[in-house]
Amino acid sequence: MKKLVNCEHWKEYHGLNGWVMFCSAGAYGKKLSVTEAKSCGCTEQQRSSCKKTMENNVGFGLVPEIYEESHAKGNEINREPALLPGR
C-alpha cells in the first residue's frame, strides 16, 4: 500500500485491528524548527490533514509543534546511561 502522507515522520503499518497511521514526531514530542518543517512538508494544512487521518484510524492525533530556530534547540534526547548513587 502506498503511504498516505509522504513524510519521514509518518509511520504506517498493519496491526491486529487494521492499519495504524501516526506521526512519529508528534507522538514522541519532537520539536521541529521552521526549516525542518518546510523540508518535510509539515505545513499547517498538512498537520491538520495528518491529525484528521490519525483521529479516524487511531482515535486521537498528535502533531508536532513548530518553533522558531532559537527555540527548537535542545530537542535532542540525552541517551547517556543513568548512574545510581554510590556505584
Instruction: Report the alpha-carbon distance of residue 39 to residue 43 in Å, rounded.
Output: 10
Band (85; pLDDT cuts 50, 70, 90):
low
* Geometric angle at alpha carbon 42, from 39 and 46, rounded to 5°: 140
Nearest-angstrom CA–CA distance, 9 and 56? 18
pLDDT of residue 72: 46
Q: What domain range includes position 37?
A: 31-70
pLDDT above 70 covers a percentage of the chain that reads 78
Q: Quick check: is 26 in a domain?
A: no
Looking at the 3D structure of the chain, how many domains does it have? 1
In a domain, 78, yes or no: no
Q: Is residue 60 part of a domain?
A: yes
pLDDT at residue 75 in the model: 53
Can you tell me the distance from the alpha carbon of 25 to that of 80, in angstroms, rounded to the nearest whole number?
A: 21
Q: Is residue 20 part of a domain?
A: no
Mark 9-35 as b/e (b = at least 16 C-beta within 10 Å): bbeeeeeeeeeebbbebbbeebbbbee
pLDDT of residue 6: 85
Residue 61 lies in a domain: yes
In a domain, 12, yes or no: no
